[in-house]
């Protein structure tokens, strides 16, 4: 025997799933949404996503290598994923400098300050998005009109999103009078204004189904968020259809599906146990509707997820998995 | 406008008063009576919370000191700190001999070759609970550094050449954390002698001689030659392994020369004078190969004089 | 066909049952056997022979040294050449008896014929337990708990059902599968005997869906007997664990820190049932067992009937020698088996298989940071939180580990299997579990 036996404690068998295979699985799930957004926003979508991904990866590499003095492990795909998710939360006609700034916030502050992969309390892409929303309110809320702006980038024709239209209607006192609100069909297929990745509901749902089938995520978080929004939003609508919009608009409009399927399910910042995930989902749904119906922002998803992220440690402490043979 | 300002001030005042009352009540209700000397003693202690005294931390030690000083000793602080504590508390410090940790394994990589590769959690405790270890000797140092982690003073390191734990004696406070951390019970606290000199059996292998020797060329084979040569009855051989009682040992070093495998080590002694050496018995000591953290003492006339008696004793018989 | 299973956690590793179609071959007797004194849970047996003694096959050579202990019999005939250290898979020599083989002379009391004896009516329950105890039978699934202890039901408790474990959920292993196929009749008589010993009327035989031939055969054969039900089970690891099996079959949860008998169940391995038949009906002690020798690069994966004490080296020679690319030799299955440091170690009563893994799959991958994905929580069949417990164990936070029920861990390895970050969760948890158990025991004193 030339080579020595390897000894390790059991088990000696390992599933093929690795951190990077999970991360690239999520990226594959995001591909349909990206294709739709290329179709609607053209060159702008491509440039924004590329800038975001490259800068996220670069920041991650530089920070791990020169600040933390560790071996950089950018190949695990987590920085790429953060980059894509950040880009998906931005309008496609945004200046690349803002995107780079956002990437620095996402990787440098939201991720690395907490200790890198696995240690961050808040979803890095969302922290960056909210940071940019507050710092650059104008650039972050002028969305290009789909299809028309396919060939232009920074000088794209801009228009309002359905959620902004609805918020305008609410402020005026009667949402039933809103003109040119897109049809469900348009919202489903994504030919509406909005952030790069959030417009096409069908593509996002497709990605979600793919991830659930491949067991990258469990159904708990996305389904509870959507169900809560539907029920809570629906109740408001039934009570007062003049001030509050149909819950289907809530679900299809804005970043809800993107948030529910891709942002809230982020491993690091979501609870561990299935029951905890349900609590987390319900919380996000309720906060989203509260912000959308009574807050001053048309969009509530990002804030809702970040608020619930802060509760994750408590949820993890309080809601343990069902134990085998627990005394009842 | 004046009205608004007045109301605001009034409300804030009321809130402040309410908060003050609540704070006062809470402080009153949850007040813990504590001997102020505990804080004073804690101040004096090193604050490393190493647990060497047998208490969970420095404060626990201080609490128990306030109750009674008997049998309490902080190795890290040493007699200075204990005397100061005794001044505050007005008791008597129990005497303690200063000690230092000693790694009793000399099974470096060239003495005991690896016979398998371990690929699990990098922890000595995990290896010890899984199987016999990477080498043929199941008693020796595993070298994954549970002791390194346990030491609060940075006094233990794994020597990359030998793969063994080594103690930096100048920072060792004999707190005993490494002794507890070692799953093989290799590390021992031994009396700290002048210039950190020590003579000890650097092996704990309980296997029979032939088995031990096969696994490691520097193992103690329990032959008992050292016990025979010792004039102070300091050496006992039990379970096929010799042990030198540091309370009885006078460091004459006769046993070192007798050991056929070089398992008995002498450390930090000045080099023997050539005329005293008997070439036949001058085994190449394993200790020479191990790079030491603290350099062997330079030959110093004063030191030699002081120890001339011991040196004379160590002449081969 | 409806397949039952348990609910919490579990994983689906690849089956890899490459030796399942290989009939049991009788392994030739080696020149030397090494019989360890501790082949069971509990106190090691006391040696009652001396160096130079002549022994026959089936002769008692080491006596149980307490209630939770088991007799050990000579598996060969010959001369005892040494009593002392024998090779062990951990690399640390264990106490045992070395016998030089001379011929194959059996004790006259053992019935070596193949006739099937099915009449169990005249045997008293106490006699069954006595014979099982004398024969030194232990749980043959790998846990090696002395069988007579398990069958001696405490007075205040009542066994409602016997569960026969034919699950064999470990990948690669096929020993139980072959035993069920080839010794089905004996198994069922054994089941009848155990039922009688523990005074119950019903026995369930749990078999996983990947063994349809065994399910079919035993269902057919069991029609002849009263109160034996074959329960087909869905594929899921670790279904062969006692607690999970009881949940799958009887839908009862054994409470934390309690034993199966507390919910009225007695679980026994299929191989054990056959051994009980041989011990009671044929007066043959436990001197041989079926061992699977397998692996992806093994020339001829096989199932052997091996005398206890045969060095594994012989088994490996018999399947075509140790392959060139061997990286790991495992005693048992890939999920819970132990990696061996050598191939000299002998087959013991609990050795269900020898798995030879090629070098390329025998290495662990470099651990990366925990991404808190919760896959270990989802996979844990006991509903624990491995990510937390491993950190507590690593940081020596024993109190917290106990609060999170580390003592419930069954060391099945589902958490490590499913961890995408390759973290050695179970390595630390095992350490934490044994430390916490020690703390609990010392507290009770």
**Gap from B171 CA to chain A (nearest CA, Å):** 27
Q: Highest mean pLDDT range out of A147-161, B122-136, C374-388?
A: C374-388
Residue at token pair 């605001």 = B8
Token pair 């007699």 is found at B79
Beta bridge partners of C146: C138
**Residue ranges per domain, chain A?**
19-139, 160-318
List, for residues A263-302, the tens digit of each pLDDT value: 999 999 999 999 999 999 999 999 999 998 888 887 889 9
Residue C256 contacts A where some CB pair is shorter than 8 Å: yes
Q: How far is B118 from chain A, CA to nearest CA, in Å? A: 5
pLDDT band, residue A179 (cuts 50/70/90): low
Contacts of C413 in chain B (CB under 8 A): none
Contact with chain A for residue B293, Cβ under 8 A: no
Q: How far apart are CA A103 and CA A119, in angstroms?
A: 18
Q: Is the pLDDT of residue A260 over 70?
A: yes
The residue with greater pLDDT, B93 or B179, is B179
pLDDT per residue as tens digits for the range B228-241: 998 888 999 988 99
Question: Which residues in chain C (91-130) have CB-CB distances under 8 A to chain B?
Answer: 91-93
Dihedral sign from CA coordinates of A303, A304, A307, A309:
negative
My answer on whether omega of the bond before C271 falls inside 30° of 0, hence cis, is no
Other CB atoms within a 10 A radius of the CB of residue C115 amount to 8
- Separation of alpha carbons C112 and C120, rounded Å: 19
pLDDT score recorded for residue C254: 93
CA distance C224 to A203: 59
Environment class of residue A183 by beta-carbon count within 10 Å: exposed (0-12), middle (13-18) or buried (19+)?
A: exposed
Give the integer Cα–Cα distance in Å for B226 and B207. Answer: 18
Q: ∠C7-C10-C13 over CA atoms, to 5°? A: 140
What burial class does residue B218 get, using C-beta atoms within 10 Å of its C-beta: 0-12 exposed, 13-18 middle, 19+ buried?
buried
Question: Per residue in A38-74, pLDDT tens?
Answer: 888 888 899 999 999 999 999 999 998 888 888 877 7
CA distance A16 to chain B (A): 18
Q: For residue B99, what are the β-bridge partners? A: B191
Contact indicator for A327, A314 with CB cutoff of 8 Å: no
Q: What is the pLDDT at residue A148?
A: 72
At residue C268, the 3 state secondary structure works out as: strand
Across residues A144-150, what is the average pLDDT?
76
C48 to each of B14, C8, C212, C397, how far by Cα in Å? 89, 47, 45, 45
H helical segments located in C326-404? 375-379, 386-394, 398-403
Give the pLDDT score at A328. 59
Q: Of the CATH numbers 3.40.50.11540, 3.40.50.620, 1.10.8.50, 3.30.70.260, which one belongs to the domain with range C125-282?
A: 3.40.50.11540
Q: Does B132 touch chain C (CB under 8 A)?
A: yes
Quote the percentage of chain C above a pLDDT of 70: 100
Is B24 an interface residue toward A (CB < 8 Å)? Answer: no
Distances (CA, A) of C315 to A25, A241, C94: 43, 79, 21
- B250-275 pLDDT, tens digit per residue, is 888 889 988 999 899 888 888 876 54
Pair C431, C425: CB distance under 8 Å: no
pTM, two decimal places:
0.86
The residues near C256 (Cβ < 8 Å, ≥ 6 apart) are A323, A324, A325, A326, A327, C405, C407, C408
Average pLDDT over chain A reads 88
Give percent above pLDDT 90 in chain C.
Answer: 77
Structure confidence by residue, pLDDT tens digits, C180-197: 999 999 999 999 999 999
The stretch C422-441 carries a mean pLDDT of 93
Checking if the pLDDT of C227 tops 60, the result is yes
Q: Are C348 and C312 in contact (CB under 8 A)?
A: no
Count chain B–chain C contacts defined by CB atoms under 8 A. 48
d(CA A306, CA A264): 9
* Beta strands at B198-201 and B264-267: parallel, antiparallel or unpaired: antiparallel
Residue of C244, C335, C374 with shortest CB distance to A13: C335
Strands, E, within C167-287: which ranges? 203-208, 228-233, 265-269
Residue B221's Cβ-count burial label (10 Å; 0-12, 13-18, 19+) is buried
Name every residue whose Cβ is closer than 8 Å to that of residue C223 and which is 6 or more positions away in sequence: none
Give me the total of CB pairs closer than 8 Å, taking one residue from chain A and one from chain C.
160
**CATH code of the domain occupying B99-291:** 3.30.70.20
The Cα-based distances of B69 to A41, B50, B59, B88 in angstroms read 79, 19, 14, 11
Residue bearing tokens 């710092």: A135
Q: Is the peptide bond before C238 cis (omega within 30 degrees of 0)?
A: yes
pLDDT tens-place string over residues C293-333: 999 989 999 999 999 999 999 999 999 989 988 889 999 99
Alpha carbons B251 and A235: distance in angstroms, whole number: 89
What's the complex ipTM?
0.88
Residue C82 backbone zone (phi > 0: left; psi -120 to 50: alpha; other: beta): beta
DSSP-assigned states of every residue in A267-302 = STTS-SSHHHHHHHHHHHHHHHHHHHHHSSSS--HH
Considering only CB atoms, B132 lies closest to which of C91, C394, C430, namely: C91
Give the range among A110-124, B288-302, C67-81, C429-443 with minimum mean pLDDT.
B288-302
What's the 3-state SS for chain B? CHHHHHHHHHHHHHHHHHHHHHHHHHHHHCCCCCCHHHHHHHHHCCCCCCCCCCCCCHHHHHHHHHHCCCCCCCCCCHHHHHHHHHHHHCCCCCCCCCEEEEECCCCCCCCCCECEEECCCCCHHHHHHHCCCCECCCCCCCCCCHHHHHCCCCCEEECCCCCCEEECCCCCCCCCHHHHHCCCCCEEEEECCHHHCEEEECCCCCCCHHHHHHHCCCCCCCCCHHHHHCCCCCEEEECCEEEECCCCCCCCCHHHHHCCCCCEEEECCCCCCHHHCCCCCCCCCHHHHCCCCCCCCCCCHHHHHHCHHHHHHCCCC
DSSP string, A134-164: HHSHHHHT-EEPTTTTSS-STT--EE--HHH
Q: How far apart are CA C48 and CA C46, in angstroms?
A: 6
Best of B119, B125, B129 to mutate (most A CBs within 10 Å, chain A): B119
- What mean pLDDT comes out for the span B27-41? 85
Q: Are A277 and A228 in contact (CB under 8 A)?
A: no
pLDDT above 50: residue A214: yes
Strand segments, DSSP code E, in C87-157 are 94-101
**What tokens appear for C376 in the block?**
């270990």
Asked whether the CA dihedral C127, C130, C134, C136 is positive or negative, the reply is positive
B301 has pLDDT over 60: no
Distance of alpha carbon A145 from the chain centroid? 21
Q: How far apart are CA A77 and CA A67, in angstroms?
A: 20
Exposure string of C139-171, with b = 16+ CB inside 10 Å and e = fewer, is: bbbbebbbbbbbbbbeeeeebbbbbbbbbbbbb
Fold of domain B36-89: 3-methyladenine DNA Glycosylase II; Chain A, domain 3 (1.10.15)
Q: Which chains contact B through at least 3 pairs of Cβ atoms less than 8 Å apart?
A: A, C
Element of type H or E holding A218:
none
* 3-class secondary structure, C40: coil
Q: Is B115 on the interface with C (CB under 8 A)?
A: yes
- Report the residue of chain B nearest A11, measured CA to CA: B120
Mean pLDDT is lowest, of A31-35, A103-107, A195-199, A217-221, for: A195-199
Distances from the Cα of C385 to the Cα of A323, B271, C258, angstroms? 10, 58, 20
Per-domain residue ranges of chain B: 36-89, 99-291
Q: d(Cα C423, Cα B126) in Å, to the nearest integer?
A: 14
C431 touches chain B (CB under 8 A): yes
Which residue, chain included where needed, has tokens 């200046």?
A: A95
**CB contact set of A241 (below 8 Å; sequence gap of 6+):** A176
C386: nearest Cα among A285, A320, A218: A320
Set of chain C residues whose Cβ sits within 8 Å of the Cβ of B239: none
Q: What is the mean pLDDT of residues C375-402?
A: 93
Decide: A95 and A48 in contact? Cβ < 8 Å: no
Minimal C-alpha gap between B226 and chain C (Å): 27
- Interchain CB contact of A177 with B (< 8 Å): no
Give dist(CA A84, CA C257) in Å, integer: 48
């Amino acid at each position: 025997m030339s080579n020595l036996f390897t000894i390790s404690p059991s088990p000696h068998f390992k599933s093929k799933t690795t951190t990077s295979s999970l991360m690239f699985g999520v990226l594959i799930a995001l591909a349909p949404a990206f294709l739709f957004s290329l179709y609607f926003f053209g060159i702008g979508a491509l440039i924004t996503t590329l800038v975001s991904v490259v800068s996220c990866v670069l920041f991650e590499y530089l920070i791990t290598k020169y600040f933390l003095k560790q071996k950089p492990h950018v190949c695990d795909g987590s920085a790429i994923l953060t980059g894509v998710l950040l880009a998906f939360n931005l309008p496609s006609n945004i200046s690349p400098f803002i995107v780079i700034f956002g990437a620095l916030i996402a990787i440098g502050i939201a991720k690395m300050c907490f200790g890198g992969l696995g240690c961050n309390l808040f979803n890095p892409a969302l922290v960056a998005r909210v940071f940019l929303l507050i710092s650059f309110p104008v650039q972050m809320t002028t969305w290009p009109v789909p299809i028309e702006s396919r060939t232009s980038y920074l000088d794209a024709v801009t228009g309002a999103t359905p959620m902004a239209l609805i918020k305008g209607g609410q402020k005026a006192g009667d949402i039933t009078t809103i003109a040119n609100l897109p049809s469900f069909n348009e919202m489903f297929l994504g030919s509406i204004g909005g952030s790069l990745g959030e417009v096409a509901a069908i593509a996002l749902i497709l990605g979600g189904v793919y991830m659930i089938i491949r067991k990258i995520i469990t159904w708990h978080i996305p389904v509870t968020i959507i169900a809560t929004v539907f029920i809570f939003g629906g109740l408001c609508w039934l009570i007062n259809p003049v001030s509050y919009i149909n819950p289907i608009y809530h679900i299809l409009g804005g970043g809800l599906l993107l948030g529910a399927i891709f942002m809230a399910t982020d491993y690091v910042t979501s609870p561990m146990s299935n029951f905890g995930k349900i609590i987390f989902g319900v919380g996000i749904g309720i906060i989203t509707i509260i912000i959308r119906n009574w807050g001053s922002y048309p969009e509530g998803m990002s804030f809702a997820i970040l608020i619930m992220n802060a509760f994750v440690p408590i949820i993890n402490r309080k809601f343990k998995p069902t134990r085998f043979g627990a005394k009842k | 406008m004046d009205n608004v300002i007045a109301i605001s001030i009034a409300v804030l005042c009321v809130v402040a008063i309410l908060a003050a009352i609540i704070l006062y009540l809470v402080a009153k209700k949850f007040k813990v009576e504590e001997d102020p000397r505990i804080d004073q003693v804690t101040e004096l202690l090193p604050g490393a919370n190493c647990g060497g005294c047998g208490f969970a931390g420095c404060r626990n030690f201080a609490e128990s000191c306030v109750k009674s000083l008997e049998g309490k000793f902080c190795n890290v602080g040493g007699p200075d700190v204990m005397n100061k504590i005794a001044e505050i508390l007005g008791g008597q410090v129990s005497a303690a001999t200063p000690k230092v940790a000693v790694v009793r394994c000399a099974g470096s990589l060239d003495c005991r070759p690896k016979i398998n590769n371990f690929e699990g959690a990098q922890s000595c405790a995990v290896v010890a609970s899984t199987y016999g270890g990477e080498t043929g000797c199941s008693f020796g140092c595993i070298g994954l550094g549970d002791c390194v982690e346990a030491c609060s003073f940075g006094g233990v390191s794994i020597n990359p050449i030998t793969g063994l734990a080594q103690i930096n004696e100048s920072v060792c406070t004999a707190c005993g954390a490494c002794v507890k951390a070692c799953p093989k019970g290799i590390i021992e606290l031994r009396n700290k002698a002048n210039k950190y000199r020590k003579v000890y059996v650097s092996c704990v292998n309980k296997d029979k001689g032939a088995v031990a020797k096969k696994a490691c060329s520097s193992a103690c084979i329990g032959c008992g030659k050292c016990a025979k040569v010792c004039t102070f009855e300091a050496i006992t051989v039990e379970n096929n392994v010799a042990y030198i009682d540091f309370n009885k040992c006078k460091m004459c070093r006769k046993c070192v020369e007798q050991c056929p495998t070089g398992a008995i080590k002498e450390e930090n002694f000045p080099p023997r004078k050539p005329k005293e050496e008997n070439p036949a018995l001058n085994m190449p000591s394993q200790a020479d190969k191990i790079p030491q953290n603290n350099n062997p003492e330079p030959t110093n006339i004063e030191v030699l004089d002081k120890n001339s008696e011991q040196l004379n004793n160590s002449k081969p018989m | 066909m409806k397949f039952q299973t348990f609910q919490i956690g579990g994983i689906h590793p690849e089956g890899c049952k490459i030796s399942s179609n290989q009939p049991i071959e009788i392994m030739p007797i080696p020149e030397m056997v090494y019989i360890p004194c501790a082949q069971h849970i509990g106190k090691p047996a006391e040696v009652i022979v001396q160096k130079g003694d002549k022994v026959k096959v089936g002769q008692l050579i080491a006596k149980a040294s307490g209630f939770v202990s088991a007799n050990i019999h000579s598996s060969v005939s010959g001369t005892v050449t040494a009593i002392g250290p024998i090779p062990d898979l951990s690399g640390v020599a264990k106490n045992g008896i070395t016998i030089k083989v001379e011929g194959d002379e059996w004790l006259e009391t053992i019935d070596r014929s193949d006739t099937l004896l099915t009449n169990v009516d005249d045997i008293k329950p106490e006699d069954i337990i006595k014979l099982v105890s004398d024969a030194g039978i232990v749980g043959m699934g790998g846990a090696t708990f002395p069988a007579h202890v398990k069958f001696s039901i405490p007075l205040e408790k009542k066994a409602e059902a016997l569960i026969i474990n034919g699950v064999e959920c470990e990948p690669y292993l096929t020993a139980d599968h072959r035993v069920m196929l080839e010794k089905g009749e004996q198994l069922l008589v054994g089941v009848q005997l155990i039922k009688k010993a523990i005074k119950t009327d019903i026995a369930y035989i749990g078999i996983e869906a990947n063994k349809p031939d065994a399910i079919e055969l035993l269902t057919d054969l069991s029609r002849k007997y009263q109160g034996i039900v074959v329960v087909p089970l869905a594929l899921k690891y670790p279904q062969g664990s006692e607690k999970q099996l009881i949940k799958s079959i009887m839908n009862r949860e054994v409470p934390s820190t309690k034993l199966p008998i507390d919910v009225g169940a007695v679980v026994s391995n299929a191989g054990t049932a056959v051994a009980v038949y041989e011990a009671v009906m044929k007066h043959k002690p436990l001197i041989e067992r079926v061992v699977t020798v397998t692996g992806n690069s093994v020339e001829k994966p096989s199932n052997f009937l091996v005398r206890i004490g045969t060095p594994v080296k012989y088994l490996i020679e018999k399947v075509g020698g140790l392959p060139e690319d061997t990286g790991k030799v495992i005693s048992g299955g890939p999920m819970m088996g132990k990696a061996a440091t050598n191939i000299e170690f002998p087959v013991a009563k609990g050795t269900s298989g020898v798995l030879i893994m090629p070098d390329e799959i025998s290495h662990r991958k470099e651990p990366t940071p925990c991404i808190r994905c919760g896959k270990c929580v989802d996979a844990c069949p006991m509903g624990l939180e491995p990510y937390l417990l491993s950190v507590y164990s690593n940081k020596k936070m024993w109190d917290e580990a106990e609060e999170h029920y580390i003592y419930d861990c069954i060391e099945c390895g589902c958490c490590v299997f499913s961890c995408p970050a390759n973290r050695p969760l179970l390595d630390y948890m095992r350490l934490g579990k044994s430390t916490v158990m020690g703390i609990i025991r010392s507290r009770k004193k």
